[in-house]
Structure 1
Amino acid sequence: MKTATTLVTTFLLATFALSSAADEQRPDHFKGQKAATLAEAVELFRSNNQKLQQLMQGELTPEAMVEIHQLTYTLENALEKIHLETTGLKEVLEEVHLGSENMDFTKVKQQAKRYLETATTLVK
């Protein structure tokens, strides 16, 4: 049993050492731009996707790879913000749907306003 424990401990230490060495070989990490609002996130998503598309039309050089690497951080941040801001959008739309079925004018007015505020930001 002691031998098994020693083997497991040695394996874990070796794995940790190898992953630390791999991390040291990775390029420096960037934080990327962050958006405070859904509108900013959508704009960052749009503009950085355009940059990525332009980079993909040319030759993939080491410089292009560094730029792509940097872009991905901003794109990930934008997607996270978009996800956070739109998570409840389907439920709000369902409230509009149910309100319209039940002729609940007040509910439809309130929930449609909430829905459209977010939805129109996404499709500008």
Structure 2
Amino acid sequence: MKKLLFTAMCLGLLGSTASADDHERADHFEGESAETLEQAVTNFTETNRRLAELLAQEELSNSDLGTIHELTYTLENALAKIDEELETMAVDLEEVHLGSETLDHERVSSHGAAYLEAAQTLTE
């Protein structure tokens, strides 16, 4: 649950970033893609570790800032995929809830399995 809350907080922060003038902005990069939830969580974890290492330094060089800039693209891609998957998980969980109310065993089983598979990826 802590991971889900942290992810939600991070997603909220994406919308609040300020931009510099065009002549001051660094080049844009694609970042590492995240085609699956597992890949997104891996990229999120590894890239945050690299970001934390850089931010732990007493001073950041311009090169460090360039690296951080590149890392943010991978983090944005990871968070976008995690957000997409969280929406799917919410739908599956609601189907489990509704299926349990109506005693629909198949609905509970199929959506429950999909929900738990995704949830396990987030909690490992």
Structure 2: segments with no counterpart, 5+ residues: 1-20
Q: Distance in 2 between matches of 1:47 and 1:31?
A: 17
Q: Distance in 2 between matches of 1:88 and 1:40?
A: 16
The AA in structure 2 aligned to 1:86 is L
Correspondence 1:75 to 2:75: yes
Correspondence 1:114 to 2:114: yes
Identity %: 47
Q: Distance in 2 between matches of 1:36 and 1:90?
A: 19
**TM-score computed with the length of structure 2 as normaliser:** 0.74
Structure 1: segments with no counterpart, 5+ residues: 1-21
More helix by percentage: 1
Q: RMSD value over aligned CA atoms? A: 1.5
- Matched-pair contact (CA < 8 Å) for 2:31–2:74: yes
Count of matched residue positions in the alignment of Structure 1 and Structure 2: 103
**SS state of the match for residue 88, structure 1?**
helix
Structure 1 runs of 4+ aligned residues shifted over 3 Å read none
Q: Distance in 1 between matches of 2:81 and 2:34?
A: 7
- Matched-pair contact (CA < 8 Å) for 2:26–2:69: no
**SS state of the match for residue 48, structure 1?**
helix
Q: Distance in 1 between matches of 2:42 and 2:72?
A: 15
Residues 52-71 of structure 1 mapped to structure 2, 5 A cutoff: 52-59=51-58, 60-71=60-71
Cα deviation for residue 101 of structure 1 reads 2.6
**TM-score computed with the length of structure 1 as normaliser:** 0.74
**SS state of the match for residue 95, structure 2?**
helix
Cα deviation for residue 57 of structure 1 reads 1.1
**SS state of the match for residue 32, structure 2?**
coil
Structure showing greater relative contact order (alpha-carbon pairs closer than 8 Å, 6 or more residues apart): 2
